[in-house]
Structure 1
């Protein structure tokens, strides 16, 4: 058998020591309650220490989330629907290439009047063109604009003054609208003719 040491009465804590330890524990617990638990859980900060420690903000966030959750209506659970059978694989439709188009536009420019004709084209598309002032002369500016072009954007293909005609091939530098602007600087009306042939989507007189 083992001999067990029995503490003497002098080794046992006195009632005063027990009371002091109990009061100390209660003090620590109260301090933690006021400085940590109340600010973090309920956004209550009577001492101000919780806000310094960032715990009051945590409690305010929890309270806000709880209020929002209480005001949101409960969403009914979706009823189970029939399970759709997997669709049979399909071959993606190929976008047909733009068919070659051909147009002739005739118009009259009054003295000091300007006009613009644009072709809607994809990048790399080519159009053969020929425009003529039919014996007269006009100023011209061949240029292009992408879709949703920023303000003051300019991409030119060529310009000139007092030109009687021009023919060539226009190759689109980007997706958008490409074409010509003409102005009659003479004091007589000018008949203008534009012929186009190639890969473009639409042709439009802008103004």
Structure 2
């Protein structure tokens, strides 16, 4: 039995078939593969069909009000950034020149990002710091105090969330044979303390060179 020869598809129909296959392939990629594999949904089909959920990992919902959970906070104080250069004399200059306290005023639950380093000595044992905070009560009222770290070292960086309304910062002490400068960088929600008030009895000025921050002390 003889077979009839297969007629080739007309050129026009062949082109339409190829174009249709290409369009279908593009739709599959845009509507299914991208939402499932790459979380991209240019046509919106993944969202409507639920395919985009196949890409997402399992979720664990955390109640922000629960104990120990990270909380998003808003503050009344504006965000600010300051650089404070604190000159300290050598140990022969006496305690009034070789050590001081520098703090900032913070409200309860406000956050401070800090970083400081000592310029002028390479020996960590020459420099001691006491990071702490306390309230500023009226005369006759009790004071709340929190000590965070007491150590020797030439640098520190981190974040602090104030446990109460009050002042937070450091006591810096230089016991080396040379004057040094503490370069302190602060960012967050706090207020600088005016010269002469508790936390800044030395009258340190922020955002000026060390020689201007405390003119009576010579910087290295």
Q: TM-score, normalised by structure 2?
A: 0.46
Mark the structure with the bigger radius of gyration: 1
